[in-house]
Homo-oligomer: A and B are copies of this chain.
Amino acid sequence: MKKINNPTQNTWSEILKRPTQSFADIEETVKGIFKEILQKGDVAVQKYTSLFDGSSSENILVSKAEIEEATELVSKELKQAIEVAKNNIYKFHEAQKTEKIEIETTEGVFCWQEKRPIQKVGLYIPGGSAPLFSTVLMLAVPASIAGCTEIVLCSPPNKQGKINPAILYVANLCGVTKIFKVGGIQAIGAMTFGTETIPQVYKIFGPGNQFVTVAKQVATQYGVGIDMPAGPSELLVYADETSVPSFVASDLLSQAEHGTDSQVILVTTNNEVLKAVEKEIYLQLEKLPRAAIAAQAIEKSKLILVENEQLALDLINEYGPEHFIICSKNEGFFIDGIQNAGSVFIGNFTPESAGDYASGTNHTLPTNGSAKTYSGVNLDSFMKSMTFQKITEKGIQNIGKSIEIMAEAEGLQAHKNAVTLRLKKIK
């Protein structure tokens, strides 16, 4: 672990630098596969599923029988846990519904804003060692509340042509309309263009490896929206002497076990806290099944000692962490002052894993500093806001002259004319 003692402000950007990712070579691969999917549809999708996932099943659409089978395979205990998480996620995202905003800006000029669902959305769920059924909850629950009519889910099959039962169970439970056993670049390409079997969608959500990340980026060039740019997961903890070092260490480690490229940072004003957390990390690390992965992430992690809370806050805002834990006697100072973070966890009994699974907040969050610009996934991610206006004769009389003058000044005579004709009619 790298310990950094009172760094001067001009070194912050270097200290907080994330590893840069180069995608140039992957982009060519993605574009090639996209082109083939555009031309050959399902045939191309099956070719790459066979090539990359080793599954040669022709039925890429998950059947009712498969869902029933999966439902049998998920334990009662896990089903109950999923129910608790689902209820909390549902409550928090349901509360995000917004009313129509309506205002008469000038007498006779009525403007309103309404949110309507994105009709067709695609959810991508990675395969691999960790079956991320929790991500299905985080995406399908708000999509369903938003009222999206088509909710497509793609996830890669294993060599036996199967998707993890918990993923199928949760997808079915949360209103996914179609599930496809397709992963990687070919899944993103299929949802971008549509094939004979897989519907085209308007926006694609969900995490993935570097191939999926680049494929989502390329999809935007074809007019498809994406949830956000993706990067390795991150956690920054601010802890003072009121924190519990073993808790802080366990949070840093739960981030570290995600992958060797996970970003793990501790910021503190107290050197004793720093030393205690470091000691706890090594104590807990050796007992973890994913210790090999976590150790590599921990090796690159940073423990930063700063002089005071204001400097800590400034440094954290410059970094813009995906997850930000506050264990401080002055938590209000950090809550009020944090400008750039995906999700914030407050107090000793609020581990990051609560938000990852069951508190109700979403775990699909901006990484790589994009918390400076992007929201995490929320109800609005599945909707777009539209504006409406209705103007009476009185209304156009009130603002018509101003429109004419401005249109004229911009050299747009036909814009002016559209008003002039109406004003004449009223007189």
By a beta-carbon cutoff of 8 Å, the part of chain A in contact with chain B is 77-78, 80-82, 84-85, 87-88, 91-92, 95-96, 98, 101, 103, 105-106, 109, 111, 113, 116-119, 129-134, 166, 202-203, 217, 220-221, 223-225, 229, 244, 246-247, 250-251, 253-254, 256-258, 284, 288-290, 294, 335, 338-362, 366, 368-376, 378, 380, 384-393, 395-396, 399, 401-403, 405-407, 409-419, 421-422, 425-426
Cβ A96 vs Cβ B113 within 8 A: yes
13 A-B contact pairs sorted by A residue (CB < 8 Å): A84-B402, A85-B399, A117-B339, A130-B410, A253-B414, A290-B413, A347-B391, A353-B415, A354-B389, A354-B399, A356-B403, A357-B407, A361-B389
Contact with A88, one of B105, B117, B220, B417 (Cβ below 8 angstroms): B105
* A373 contact from B87, B203, B341, B391, Cβ within 8 A: B203
With contact pairs A101-B95, A422-B351 given, residues A356 and B415 touching in the complex (Cβ less than 8 Å): yes
Cβ-neighbour of A361 out of B352, B384, B387 (below 8 A): B387
Least Cβ distance of A373 to chain B in Å? Answer: 4
**Chain B residue, CB-CB nearest to A95:** B103
A83 — nearest CB in chain B belongs to which residue?
B402
Task: With A254-B415, A389-B343, A414-B254 as known contacts, state yes or no: A409 contacts B353, CB within 8 Å.
Answer: no
Is chain A's binding surface mostly helix, strand, loop or mixed?
Answer: mixed
Which one of B251, B256, B343 lies within 8 Å of A386 (CB-CB)?
B343
Interchain CB contact under 8 A, A106 and B131: no
Give chain B residues whose Cβ lies under 8 Å from the Cβ of A353: 403, 407, 412, 415-416, 418-419
- A407–B131 Cα gap in the complex (Å)? 10
Whether the pair B360, A418 counts as a contact (CB closer than 8 A) is: no
A350 touches B129 (CB 8 A): no
- With CB as the reference atom, state the residue of chain B lying closest to A255: B414
- A414 and B357 in contact (CB under 8 A), knowing A386-B343, A388-B344, A422-B247? no
A419 & B351 in contact (Cβ 8 Å cutoff): yes
Do B369 and A223 touch (CB < 8 A)? Answer: yes
A85-B406, A354-B399 are contacts. A98–B98 as well, Cβ < 8 Å? Answer: yes
Q: Beyond A85-B402, A92-B105, A347-B391, is A412–B130 a contact (Cβ under 8 Å)?
A: yes
Residues on B with C-beta less than 8 A from A78 are 405-406, 409
Additional A-B contacts beyond A92-B111, A353-B403, A358-B399 (11; CB < 8 A): A95-B103, A223-B229, A223-B368, A250-B421, A254-B415, A289-B411, A347-B392, A349-B396, A353-B415, A354-B396, A375-B386
